[in-house]
């Protein structure tokens, strides 16, 4: 069996070392005599897994002590609604920055819970840029300012933490968490689905400052209430135990790579190689403003749309899979998350050049 290079936007490629370890531990985790899938989430063995999981994430992200870390279900999409339910704290407005498809979804869901002020939007140019922060219209009476740090579909990424102008800053980091260094203390709340840089689908990480916990609106189901989840160690209901374990393995792998600073350097190098290959050709084009191009998701289009299917077929024949762009934008998209080795990007760059030469 030969493994392919998987450029899927999520669920995405896993580090091979993690898959091998999970395979080796499938029947028995350490000396427990059982698989992780069989363990009680209240038992001593899984308690150790859970404690190491939180400890490793805190270490990797340098999470301050006054932040709670939750491992929940429902995906980042669930948090689109749960965040305003938990942190409006009596206010009626929230500010959102609209830079792509996931920002739009967050805005739409939040509208069911509060008045949404769209402080800035790049919809006018099909989400190919990020509006300058000096132009943002931030309402000081709002409970928080929300932004999506990386847009997987449109390939736009914030290269620095924006100024919230006094508001609590909230960010969806689903597709770039742990890919670059970030100062957690700048945020009131960070959330992310794990299926891109952290593990399999099925776990949602919420990192929330203590003072924002305990203000859920009346009538919120306990499973959606941050205070209840904090009180119960994210186990108000039975968690996705095996997925927690896999996320934990990925975090340990990342520590072995040198942590976030080391993986960020590799991500910069991979992205520079791919963008350089695209930019040097008139056969391919990336539509995103260079200063805000994503390191994680690289969309590109061919000069002739009729060549899209032949390109994808030839790519798969060369072991390069999941390069089709999102259906809403078309073209191609290469997702090069932490687990994508530099050799995969090298192979893609060589294929891109060869396909141009032959077509």
Q: Is 172 labeled as catalytic in the residue annotation?
A: yes
CA 105 to chain centre: 15
Q: Is 270 labeled as catalytic in the residue annotation?
A: no
Q: At what angle do helices 101-110 and 75-87 cross, to 10 degrees?
A: 40
Both structure tokens of 17: 């070392």
Q: How far apart are CA 195 and CA 76, in angstroms?
A: 10
Please tell me which residue in 109, 136, 196, 225 is annotated as part of the active site.
196
Can you say whether the dihedral through the CA atoms of 73, 74, 75, 79 is positive or negative? negative
Task: State the DSSP string of 133-158.
Answer: GGG----TTSSEEEEESEETTTTEE-
SS3 of 198, please? coil
Please tell me which residue in 56, 109, 172, 225 is annotated as part of the active site.
172
Task: State the DSSP string of 49-109.
Answer: HHHHHHHHHHHHHT--TTEEEEEESSHHHHHHHHHHHHH-TT--EEEEEE-SHHHHHHHHH
Residue 44: which residues within 8 A CB-CB, separation 6 or more? none
Q: Is 102 labeled as catalytic in the residue annotation?
A: yes
Please tell me which residue in 29, 102, 136, 253 is annotated as part of the active site.
102
Q: How far apart are CA 115 and CA 340, in angstroms?
A: 40
CA 307 to chain centre: 30
Find the helix or strand (DSSP H, E) in which 121 lies: strand 115-121
Return the residue matching tokens 């597709």.
175
- Which residues are identified as catalytic? 102, 172, 196
């Amino acid at each position: 069996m030969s493994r392919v290079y998987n450029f899927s936007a999520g669920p995405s490629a896993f580090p091979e070392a993690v898959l091998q370890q999970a395979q080796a531990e499938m029947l028995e985790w350490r000396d427990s005599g059982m698989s992780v899938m069989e363990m009680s989430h209240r038992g001593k063995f899984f308690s150790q897994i859970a404690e190491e999981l939180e400890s490793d994430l805190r270490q990797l992200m340098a999470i301050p002590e006054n932040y709670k870390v939750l491992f929940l279900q429902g995906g980042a999409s669930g948090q689109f609604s749960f965040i305003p339910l938990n942190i409006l704290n009596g206010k009626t407005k929230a500010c959102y920055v609209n830079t792509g498809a996931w920002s739009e979804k967050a805005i739409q869901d939040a509208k069911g819970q509060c008045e949404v002020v769209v402080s800035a939007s790049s919809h006018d140019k099909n989400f190919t840029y990020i509006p300058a922060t000096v132009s943002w219209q931030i309402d000081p009476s709002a409970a928080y300012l929300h932004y999506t740090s990386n847009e997987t579909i449109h390939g736009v990424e914030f290269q620095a933490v924006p100024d919230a102008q006094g508001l609590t800053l909230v960010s969806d980091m689903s597709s770039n968490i742990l890919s670059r260094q970030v100062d957690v203390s700048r945020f009131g709340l960070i959330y992310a689905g794990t299926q891109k840089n952290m593990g399999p689908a099925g776990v949602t990480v919420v990192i929330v400052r203590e003072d924002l916990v305990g203000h859920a609106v009346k009538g919120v189901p306990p499973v959606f209430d941050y205070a209840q989840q904090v009180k119960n160690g994210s186990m108000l209901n039975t968690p996705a135990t095996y997925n927690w374990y896999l996320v934990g393995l990925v975090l340990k792998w990342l520590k072995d790579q040198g942590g976030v600073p080391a993986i960020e350097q590799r991500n910069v190098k991979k992205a520079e190689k791919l963008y350089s290959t695209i930019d040097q050709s008139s056969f391919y084009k990336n539509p995103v403003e260079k200063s805000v191009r994503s390191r994680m998701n690289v969309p590109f289009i061919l000069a002739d749309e009729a060549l899209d299917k032949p390109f994808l077929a030839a790519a798969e024949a060369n072991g390069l899979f999941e390069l089709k762009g999102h259906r809403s934008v078309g073209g191609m998209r290469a997702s090069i998350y932490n687990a994508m080795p530099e050799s995969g990007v090298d192979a893609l760059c060589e294929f891109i050049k060869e396909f141009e030469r032959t077509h």
